[in-house]
Structure 1
C-alpha cells in the first residue's frame, strides 16, 4: 500500500471522529488541538508524507478504534504509534537548570612537536 493511500485512509478515519485536517506550511511538526470545540489536526505540508502519516496516526492512537473497520496495514501503523507514544511517556520530561549547562571541556596539555 502506498503512503498516499495510507494518508488518505488516516484522514478519512480522523474525519469520522470529527477531526478537521488543516494543511499548513511552516517550521513545525504538527499535532492536534481543540479550537472553539472543533477538533483539529494540523499537518505540515513541507514535511514528507511519512511524517504527516505519523502525526495523524499518533492522534488516532489515542482513540478507541477496536470496533472500527480499518485496513490491517493502517491499524498496524496506528498500533505502532500507540506503542511509541507509550514509550516516550515513560521518559520524564522534567528539565533542570543543571541539564542546560554545557558539559565541562577537559583541556589536554599540548605536547611539544617532535622533529
Structure 2
C-alpha cells in the first residue's frame, strides 16, 4: 500500500471526525492532543512519512472507531501499528 494513499485516507478520516492534523518542525515525535475542546494530531514534518503514519495510527488507535466506517486497509494499518 502506498504511503501517500494512507496519508490521504488519514486526512479524510480526520475531517470526518473533526480532528485537525497539524504539521510542524521541531524536536518532538507528535501525537494526539485536545486544546480548548478542539482535537489535533500533531506531526513532525521533518520526520519520514512512515514515522508520521505511525503517529497517526497510534493517535487514531486510541479513539473509539468501532462505529465509524474506515477503509479496511486503513483500519488494518491502525490496528497493526497502534498495538506497538
TM-score surpassing 0.5? yes
Deviation at 1:21, TM superposition (A): 0.7
Give the alignment's TM-score, normalised by structure 1: 0.66
Aligned to 2:82: 82
Deviation at 1:66, TM superposition (A): 2.3
Give the number of the structure with larger relative contact order, counting CA–CA contacts within 8 Å between residues 6 or more apart. 2
Aligned to 2:7: 7
Aligned to 2:24: 24
Q: Which runs of 5+ in 1 are unaligned?
A: 85-115
Query: Equivalences for 1:27-38 in 2 at 5 Å?
Result: 27-38=27-38
**CA separation in 2, counterparts of 1:48 and 1:34?**
24
- What SS does the aligned partner of 1:13 have? helix
Deviation at 1:26, TM superposition (A): 1.2
**CA separation in 1, counterparts of 2:10 and 2:45?**
16
Aligned to 1:55: 55
1:11–1:56: 8 Å Cα contact kept in structure 2? no
Could you give the per-residue CA deviations for residues 75-101 of structure 1, whole angstroms, max 9, x where no partner exists?
1111113322xxxxxxxxxxxxxxxxx
